[in-house]
Amino acid sequence: MLEGSSTLDTKALTGESMPEEVNAGQNIVSGSINLTGVLKVQTTKLFDDSTVAKILELVENASSRKAKAEAFITRFARVYTPAVVILAALLAVLPPLALGGAWSTWVYRACSFLVVSCPCALVISVPLSFFGGLGAASRQGILMKGSNYLEAMGSLDTAVFDKTGTLTTGKFEVTDVAPVHGSREELLELAALGEYNSNHPIALSVKKAYGKEADTSRIGEVEEISGHGIHAQILKDGVWKNLYIGNQKLMDSQKVKVDTPAAVLGTTLYLAEEDTYLGCIVISDSVRPDVPAMLAGLKKQGVNKLVMLTGDKEEVGKKVAESIGITHVFGNLLPGDKVAKVEQLLKEKPEGKTLAFVGDGINDAPVLARADVGIAMGGIGSDAAVEAADVVIMDDEPSKIVDAICIARKTVGIVKQNIIFAIAVKILVLVLVALGYVGMWAAVFGDVGVSVLAILNAIRALSYKK
């Protein structure tokens, strides 16, 4: 950056929840959003070497390494169909030649054998069960891009989460007001007056917390001190006072002694009148209301490992994780670091189990593509995240992940029931037909009757109650 100073929103790229103060001489990541000042920036890399281009490359590489499980019914049909046709032909030819007897009897049995062996029940009911499961999920606002991802959700063992915008709202709000002199309302009023002309996210959250129309006649000259805060002249008790609102650096420059320790979870805004410390206001990103219920539901469903990966500071990530009950936390991660960490977790998960990653930002796109199941927040999520994900939660409620698991397990259970029922009945009727104990009526039941029963069972996948 050549000239200027401003505040940048980088959370879509790095996951850093708080805006970043930048000044001349600092490097700026492409894709950042300028919030306040005017900047003169020199481009130092070609597009192919930019942060966004590298993220897209990671998505493509991760997608190419993602295994596609072959459907059971396809593997089964490759062996089953030619096998039963050969057996029917042998049943029609070999017994008359070896044992004698009427050819018409054995040809009739062979035809009945072929009728029973028709895999209609499997071919229709298995996909229909998955279609029902996908329909039940869509009714809950959960869009899945294929039945293989529905099946994978049923065997979920490890859930990995991004923090900002996924577990938290990604919106800043005042979470604590700690006055040293005066009341809570007075401290908020002074902060709102000083921040009245600012459009900074922190200033907006202070004004929202104050909740009243500011008396602009009490606001004098306002000076923004880059990287420190604001110096404003405020009319108080008929006298103009110098009010300082900002970070610890601003308090140190004004020789103000701060009695309140800085908050780990969020940004602390200190206020001083002349050289007297007035108190502080804590602004932080709040946890989504349904996150605790989601984590409890995941544990109840047997998801044994809950992990948080964030580009935010590790101490902030740990504080959030501690408040909601996640024990595995990794912070200060760039998009490539998140992919590497998920690669490691994929190696550690049990055989036959799956790993899901839940995210919303551009920086989450590569790891969404690499996970067994990528889950994106559809409402606030970036286009890149939604494109790379396998499952999209349309209303941004993380608790819907638990619903997705329940629907998936119910659907997979119905599929297994249909497969076992259809194969068992067909084998039984095939044997009875071959031995001549039953005729064409049983063969028709073994085909059409079993198909109807399997389809009726598959329809159950459409219904889901929490």
**CA-to-CA distance for 341 and 308, rounded, in angstroms?**
11
Asked if the model's pLDDT at residue 72 lies above 70, the reply is: no
Taking residue 327's Cβ as centre, other Cβ atoms within 10 Å add up to 11
DSSP of 19-85: -EEEETT----TT-EE-SS--B----S-GGGSHHHHHHHHHHHHHHT---PPPHHHHHHHHHHHHHH
- Residue 203 CA to residue 194 CA, distance in Å, equals 9
162 among known catalytic residues: yes
The total of other beta-carbon atoms located within 10 Å of residue 271's CB is 27
Cα dihedral 403, 405, 410, 415 in deg (nearest 10): 140
CB 308 within 8 A of CB 161: yes
- Name residue 15's amino acid: G
* Domain map (residue ranges) of the chain: 5-63, 72-128+409-462, 137-168+288-406, 171-286
**What Cα–Cα distance (Å) separates residue 295 from each residue in 143, 185, 299, 320, 327?**
20, 36, 6, 13, 12
CB atoms within 10 A of CB 83: 11
Whole-number pLDDT of residue 54: 55
Q: Is 411 in contact with 142 (CB distance < 8 Å)?
A: no
Q: What percent of the chain has pLDDT over 70?
A: 87
Tens digits of residue pLDDT in 360-382: 877 788 888 889 999 988 766 56
> What are the tens digits of pLDDT across the range 150-195?
888 989 999 999 888 788 887 778 888 888 888 889 999 999 999 8
Task: Report CA 264 to chain centroid distance, whole Å.
Answer: 25
Q: Average pLDDT for residues 420-433, to the nearest whole number?
A: 82
Output the pLDDT for position 402: 94
Over residues 401-407, mean pLDDT: 93
Q: What is the mean pLDDT of residues 101-130?
A: 77
What is the average per-residue pLDDT within 444-448? 77
**Residue with structure tokens 């597009």?**
47
| Average pLDDT taken over every residue of the chain | 81
Contact 99, 425 (CB under 8 A): no
Instruction: For residue range 282-296, list pLDDT tens digits in order.
Output: 888 788 888 999 999
Residue 65 has pLDDT above 50, yes or no: no
Q: Give the rounded percent of residues in the chain with a pLDDT score beyond 90.
A: 16
In the set 9, 49, 157, 162, the catalytic residue is: 162
Beta strands in 256-362 (DSSP E): 267-273, 276-287, 305-309, 328-330, 354-359
- What does each C-alpha distance from 27 to 1, 174, 286 come to in angstroms? 6, 30, 29
Alpha carbon 396 to chain centroid, angstroms: 9
The contacts of residue 358 (CB under 8 Å, 6+ apart) are: 159, 160, 161, 162, 166, 375, 376, 377, 398, 401
Half-sphere exposure of 41 (CA within 13 A, CB side): 20
Higher-confidence residue of 29 and 34: namely 34
Task: Give residue 346's pLDDT.
Answer: 92
Of the candidates 129, 142, 132, which has an alpha carbon nearest to the alpha carbon of residue 403?
142
- Could you tell me the pLDDT band of residue 2, with boundaries at 50, 70 and 90? confident
| Beta strands 354-359; 373-377: pairing state | parallel
- Bridge partners (DSSP) of residue 239 are 236
In which band, very low, low, confident or very high, does the pLDDT at 408 lie, cut at 50, 70 and 90? very high
pLDDT for residue 357: 93
> What is 171-286's CATH number?
3.40.1110.10
284 bridge partner residues: 173
**Residue 203 has which token pair?**
């200033």
pLDDT for the residue 170: 74
Do residues 334 and 363 lie in contact, with contact meaning Cβ atoms separated by under 8 Å? yes
**In which band, very low, low, confident or very high, does the pLDDT at 308 lie, cut at 50, 70 and 90?**
very high
In the prediction, which pLDDT does 453 show? 87
Residue 452 pLDDT exceeds 60: yes
Instruction: Sheet with 33-34: list strands edge to edge.
Output: 20-23, 5-9, 33-34
Contacts of residue 418, defined as CB under 8 A and 6 or more positions apart, other chains included, come to 121, 122, 125, 126, 129, 454, 457, 458
For residue 240, pLDDT over 70 is answered with yes
pLDDT at position 62 is 43
Would the pTM count as exceeding 0.75?
Answer: no
- Decide yes or no: CATH 1.20.1260.10 for domain 137-168+288-406: no
Helix (H) or strand (E) holding 171: strand 168-179
How much is the average pLDDT of 14-19? 58
Q: What average pLDDT score do residues 201-229 get?
A: 85
Q: Residue with structure tokens 């590298």? A: 54
What's residue 271's pLDDT? 92
Q: Which tokens belong to 241?
A: 């006072």
Using 50, 70 and 90 to split pLDDT, how confident is the model at 404? very high
Mean pLDDT value of segment 108-123: 75
